[in-house]
């Protein structure tokens, strides 16, 4: 289990298949800042923590505590990518149906 914020951020980025460059662009910081954060050489502001949480689909509790957690979105995305195209379309159709039934 990852137990420090630097390791957790690197792990979350890699699980999503994001490059450091992509994450940096999304967060509005330099790639070298991502490297330094992941190495534990740079502190992270509270605003950056919020941005990382949104980008990586993890909670601040997960990043800041000794908790192991993957968001439902990450688990879903990983499972969805493993399906063939027909099965993916069935899932998308089911989501659209459920949303229409819920009035979303």
| pLDDT at residue 102 in the model | 84
Residue 68 DSSP symbol? -
Q: ∠25-36-55 over CA atoms, to 5°?
A: 40
Token code pair at residue 87:
């099965």
pLDDT tens string 1-58: 445 899 999 999 999 999 999 999 999 999 999 999 999 999 999 999 999 999 999 8
pLDDT on residue 3: 53
- Render pLDDT for 44-102 as a digit per residue (tens, 0 to 9): 999 999 999 999 998 888 888 865 556 667 777 878 888 999 999 999 999 899 988 88
* Residue partners of 74: CB distance under 8 A and separation at least 6: 12, 15, 16, 56, 57, 58
pLDDT at 69: 55
What structural domains does the chain harbor? Answer: 1-68 (1.10.260.40), 71-104 (no CATH)
């Amino acid at each position: 289990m990852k137990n420090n914020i630097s390791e957790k951020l690197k792990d979350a980025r890699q699980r999503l298949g994001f490059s450091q460059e992509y994450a940096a662009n999304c967060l509005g910081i330099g790639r070298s800042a991502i490297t330094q954060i992941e190495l534990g050489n740079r502190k992270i502001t509270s605003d950056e923590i919020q941005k990382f949480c949104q980008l990586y689909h993890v909670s601040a509790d997960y990043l800041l505590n000794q908790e192991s957690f993957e968001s439902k979105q990450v688990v879903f995305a990983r499972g969805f990518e493993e399906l063939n195209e027909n099965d993916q379309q069935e899932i998308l159709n089911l989501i659209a149906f459920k949303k229409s039934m819920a009035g979303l």
